[in-house]
Chains A and B, each alone.
Chain A
Amino acid sequence: GAKAAWCPACGVASLAPGAQRDALLALAKQSILAKLRLPGRPGVPQPPSRAALRSALRRMRAQRSDTPGMLRDGPGLQEYEVLSFAEAGSSTSRSVHLHFRFSQEVAGSTEIQQATLYLFWASPGRGAQPVTVRLLRQDPNMTVASETRLEVQRPGWTTLDIGAAVRSLFGETPRLTVELEVPEDWGSPLPPDHSDSHWPFVVAQARARTRHRVQRR
């Protein structure tokens, strides 16, 4: 036709419109996956329940207003905020294991700036009740990486800063196992089921690792 079918800037034959669109869509997918360091799009997710998600976002907002400036902007480095809900593991009458799984892509290419564990106590006994929170290594003996004793005075949310422990554990694997131990007469420290709005979760802030520059003379 009148308009030459060639690319004005590079002088080669331009793609037919349909082929051009397909090429651009493929480029968009490749570009986003590369920047998210994903080998391919993730499988169909199992989203958390709306109640748990809404409750977690509300807690995160409350926590952020309590501790402003938690994460200062890094020098143009890509930052991540990850919200991970617990998977219930083995349990006894007074303790339970919670498993959190973080993706290798984020854990492998970022530095954890901050990590907070959110726990909800529905009906603690009277007075201050001792609760022990342990972060366990992923080795066969599940050795203890860190242990914190809490005094739970009343029903409600408790937050625990686990940033240092997560940084040390992520060096081995992007998995986190938390053991909760409560007084005998409490019963299970977990809400009745996963869709409950008081399900435990972890929020981690991470920043892409700075590219190491090696100066050679």
Chain B
Amino acid sequence: GVDCGADSRMCCRQEFFVDFKEIGWEDWIIQPEGYHMNYCAGLCPLHMAGIPGLAASFHTAVLNRIKAASAAAAVDSCCVPTQRRPLSLLYYDRDSNIVKTDIPDMIVDSCGCT
């Protein structure tokens, strides 16, 4: 997958870190110090459909040009997560018990076009 740059327009992964201290949650969340709430953004014209991230080879680029010239190129596909991992949290619950849990699929590692 591709990480978004300043001027990315095509499908890519936008990094976004939530610092628990910044939102005042550091008193009840023991670990970690923050949450990587990355998300997917950008265009997915049809000729990029089904390819995670940008074209990776000359052959793919040529194939893309052919697809782009086709009549159906007007339809877009969607920029979605292609790899995700759990968020492990250690926190105090309302009764000050210590709870450890792994929340599945909370962190986006890469994005691609459907």
**Which residues from chain A sit less than 8 Å from chain B, CB to CB?**
3, 7-9, 24-25, 27-29, 31-32, 35-36, 38, 41-48, 53, 76, 78-85, 101-103, 105-106
Contacts and interface: CB of A to CB of B under 8 A. Distances in A.
Contacts of A101: 95, 97
A76 B104 contact: yes
A106 B103 contact: no
28 contacts: A3-B7, A7-B41, A9-B41, A9-B43, A9-B44, A9-B79, A24-B18, A24-B39, A28-B35, A28-B37, A31-B37, A31-B106, A32-B89, A41-B25, A42-B28, A42-B92, A42-B93, A42-B94, A45-B27, A45-B28, A45-B96, A80-B100, A81-B99, A85-B97, A101-B97, A102-B97, A103-B97, A106-B93
Interface of B: 7, 9, 16, 18, 22-23, 25, 27-28, 35, 37, 39, 41-44, 79, 87, 89, 91-104, 106
Nearest to B90: A81
Contact of A24 (B28, B37, B44, B98): B37
Contacts of B9: 8
Given A9-B42, A41-B25, A48 B79 contact: no
A28 B19 CA distance: 10
A118 to B, nearest CB: 14
B16 to A, nearest CB: 6
B41 A36 contact: no
A148 B55 CA distance: 66
Contact of B16 (A24, A29, A43, A53): A24
Nearest to A110: B101
